[in-house]
Amino acid sequence: MKIKTYFLELQYRFFLFFLHFSFLFLLIYSYKEEITFFIQCCQKEEFPYFISTHLTEIFSVYIRLSFFLSLYGSLPFLILQTGLFFNPALYQYESKFVQNYFFFSLLIYFIGTTLSYKIFIPYCWEFFSSFQTSSAENYVGIHFETKFNSYCNFFLKSLYFLQFSFQVIGFLFFFLPKFQPSFYKISRKLIYFTFLGIA
């Protein structure tokens, strides 16, 4: 009987997550042009436009952009619902630890998002766009114009991968001090292999 109750609660929390995601998706899609203007932070001064080479590309990019930004914005809500589901089964000190980690992870989430948008993505844009050349100065001129699909893929991948890296660093920073030094001696090979895999 308790298992049925747990499944009902999971369904309820998943439904809340689905509502949150759907509302965010519709909101982002409603303001898709404004959000596109917002994410073209790197190139809007040099090329205040995108190019599209496929008939359905603009529509499909808007859908994909809305989906992944909605998922990105819904992740803290999903983690919160997961924590609230498991919280009654934890001891008081475990519950306190999970709450502290949640707020720490949320802080890293906002820091990672800010650094991605303000520093990492503009720096990558400046570095890679510097390889275009002028025919007046070189043997061949290479002029760069941004394709809408390519830029959105670059933006979303950078956002997700950098956020993942920040969360891994935050996880290690929060959890590694909890282990005894003997644990690191015993599990040294496993730790090296894990770090190699993450890298």
Q: How far is CA 74 from the centre of its chain?
A: 10
Greatest Cα pair distance, the chain, in angstroms, is: 78
Answer yes or no: are the C-beta atoms of 82 and 17 closer than 8 Å. Answer: no
Burial of 66: CB neighbours in 10 Å, binned 0-12, 13-18, 19+:
buried
Q: What is the pLDDT along the chain (199 residues), one digit of tens a residue?
A: 577 787 888 889 899 999 999 999 999 999 998 888 888 866 656 666 788 888 888 999 999 999 999 999 998 898 888 888 888 888 888 888 888 888 888 888 898 888 888 888 888 888 887 787 776 666 777 777 788 888 889 889 888 888 888 888 888 777 777 767 777 677 777 777 777 877 7
Q: Does pTM surpass 0.85?
A: no
